[in-house]
Homo-oligomer: A and B are copies of this chain.
Amino acid sequence: MKNVVAGVDIGGTNTIIGFVDSEGKIIAEDRLSTPDYAFADDFVIALDEKLREMASGLKEVNIAGIGIGAPNANFNKGTIELAPNLRWKGIIPLVRLTERRTGLKTRITNDANAAALGEMLFGGAKGMKHFIILTLGTGLGSGIVVDGEVVYGHTGFAGELGHMTVAEGGRVCGCGRRGCLETYASATGLVRTVLALLSDRRDQSTLRELKSTDITSRRVAEAAAAGDLIAVEALDQTARMIALGIANAVIFSSPETIFLFGGLAKAGEALMEPVRRYADELVQPVFRGTFKIEPSGLPEANAAILGASALIWKEMK
């Protein structure tokens, strides 16, 4: 019998399920349509059936446990709490429901913490005791590892660097306040910076020919590569804000490496180089040269499943 862990990535549209072996190899994958299930109980029944179906297609496989990555997940309590992008309202005790139905050990955490665990077991952070991963997408998620363990804190919700206040009275954030890091340092933040520059500057820019809703981080990166001044400046300002967040994280936990993951991180060295330069400038001098900033070592397509499975694999290793 070969041990696998079911890595489950619950998103607003799809739930991806993968059987992950101890080396981080995905030996089976399937999916459920998350909004098909009005109640979490129904979802758990469907998940249980899907796992049996997947296992029956393989021979000699033992499911050692279920690791779940989900928005607004609380590791300490095993719950999903008030997730705006899911139909399940209130506080959902998903770990208890899943363990009761499947009989399998289940753990849950949010996507960024799962990414940190994936990085630790299967990515670039193998053997590291202190590191941070920043997921740069619609928002900015973070997973913080101290002494080899993800920091969950007293509430189970620790590691929300996207909501570090970096500009008092700054941009409106989805959390209801202003000036949060993720309103600048994210794919969405980059687009907002482009809009601000288009209003402020008089430079010509191909981005002026797009509807606001058609401006994406990818288009900005392409325009910057083509020398568009607005795009170049927007990427630079975004890099500086990412670096500011990193500098403020370094003085907190002094990580060995900060990994960047997600859509915006795909801009590659065009982003990495200024982020490294600004972080060195913005950090307390005693920490200069003590940390690295690197792209995530996880394959983006499978990162969520690998990370979710790592919740269980970490306990087993």
Contacts and interface: CB of A to CB of B under 8 A. Distances in A.
Nearest to A286: B157
A205 interface: no
Contacts of A96: none
Interface string A142-158: 00101101011111111
A160 interface: yes
Contact of A159 (B177, B244, B252): B252
B254 A165 contact: no
A91 interface: no
Interface string A244-258: 100111011111100
Contact of A286 (B151, B160, B254): B160
Interface in A97-129: 129
Contact of A164 (B153, B155, B248): B248
Contact of A155 (B149, B165, B254, B285): B254
A175 B285 contact: yes
A39 interface: no
A285 B149 contact: no
B144 A252 contact: yes
A214 interface: no
A175 B161 CA distance: 24
Residue of A156, A157, A282 with most chain B CB atoms under a 10 A cut-off: A157
Contacts of A248: 164-165, 248
Q: How many copies does the complex hold?
A: 2
Contact of A129 (B146, B154, B284): B154
A146 B155 CA distance: 12
A163 interface: yes
Nearest to A282: B165
Interface core residue of A129, A154, A163 (most chain B CB under 10 Å)? A154
A158 B244 contact: no
Interface string A45-65: 000000000000000000000
A291 B146 contact: no
A157 B282 contact: no
Contacts of A152: 254
A290 B161 contact: no
Closest 10 CB pairs of A and B: A153-B254, A158-B254, A163-B284, A154-B256, A160-B251, A130-B154, A155-B254, A155-B290, A164-B248, A163-B251
20 contacts: A130-B154, A144-B252, A146-B147, A147-B151, A152-B254, A154-B254, A157-B286, A158-B254, A159-B251, A160-B284, A161-B252, A163-B284, A165-B166, A165-B244, A165-B248, A165-B282, A175-B286, A180-B284, A248-B248, A252-B253
